[in-house]
Amino acid sequence: MSDEAAPGGVLRLRGREFGPGTHAVMAVVNRTPDSFYDRGATFGFGAALRAADAAVEHGADIVDVGGVKAGHGPPVTVAEEIERTAPFVAALRARHPEVIVSVDTWRSEVGRACAEAGADLINDTWAGADPALAAVAAEAGAGLVCSHTGGLAPRTDPHRVHYADVLADVVATVAGLARRAVALGVRPDRVLVDPTHDFGKNTYHSLELTRRLDELAATGWPVLVAVSNKDFIGETLDAPVDERGPGTLAALAVSAWQGARVFRVHDVGASRAALDAVAGLGAGTTGGGGV
C-alpha cells in the first residue's frame, strides 16, 4: 500500500478534521418501519428529524441515514429507498449545515441521489456489492466507508461461516476496497474502513475483531466501528436488544482504546461520554491504541 493511498493521518469531511486519537460519534437515524433496534420509531419524517436534532444536541458529529433494514425483511425498491432517504438528507442538510451527513446504502442510485441532496459520506455496509457506488462517491466528492461481509450478499445472514484468520480477511478486503476507491477518485482523507461486526461473521469472529482492532487501525485507514446493540453483544451477555447498553459502551471503549476513530451508535449522549472518558484516560500516554 502506498503512502498516498493510506494517509494514516487526518480524516476530513465537510471541513472538519479527525486525526488519530480523536473520536467522532455517528448517530443512527433509520427511516425504516422495521429496524431491529427502534422498531420503526424514526420511520416518520418528523420523528426522524426530531431524532436527528436530539443527536446533534447530544454531541453527534455525523448523522447516518438509512432507508433499508440491514437484515431480512420486505423488499425495498431503489425508488422507495431514495424516497425514504434523499428528501430527509436535504432537510437535514438545511437544518444542520455544520453536521456531516451520511447515507447508509449499498446502491449507487441511492448514493447519487443522496449526494445530490447534500450527503457528505456514503456508508457502504455491504462491501462494494454495487461496484458503481465508489465511482459515485468520487464523482460527488463524498467520503466512502469500505466494509467487510465475507462475500455475503446484502440483507442475508451468515451460515456456518469460517475464516482461517478473520482479521486478516477483513484487512485484505477493506484495504483492497479502499485502494480501489482512491484509484477511482475518492480522496484518501475521505476513506474509512469498517470491519463490520456481525455482517458475515458469528459472535466469535466479532469478538476477535474487537480484541484485535489495533491491527486494522495499523493499516493507516481511519476505522469506523458499528457495534451498537449488535447480536454479538447480546449473545455474549445473554441480553435482549433493550439491555445491551452497558455491553455496547464496553465494546466502544475497547474499540476506541484500540484506535477506532468513528463510532456508529444509537445512544449518542452515553457514547459521547464514554469516548470522552477513554480520551481522558489515555491523555499523556504513549501507547494504548492511539489515544
Active site residues: 230, 264
| Count of positions (residues) in the chain | 291
Hey, what's the cell of 102?
A: 451520511
DSSP 8-state symbol, 165: -
Contact 194, 219 (CB under 8 A): no
Displacement of CA 21 from its chain's centroid (Å): 17
C-alpha pair distances (Å), 213 with each of 25, 68, 113, 132, 259: 18, 28, 33, 28, 7
C-alpha pair distances (Å), 84 with each of 48, 76, 110: 11, 10, 10
Contact 37, 71 (CB under 8 A): no
Exposed, middle or buried, 52 (CB in 10 Å: 0-12/13-18/19+)? buried
Can you tell me which residue has the cell 458469528?
202
In DSSP terms, which residues pair with 25 in a beta bridge?
263
Q: Which of 52, 9, 55 is nearest to 189 (CA)?
A: 9
Cα separation, 126 vs 263, whole angstroms: 17
- The sign of the torsion formed by the CA atoms of 144, 62, 94, 84 equals positive
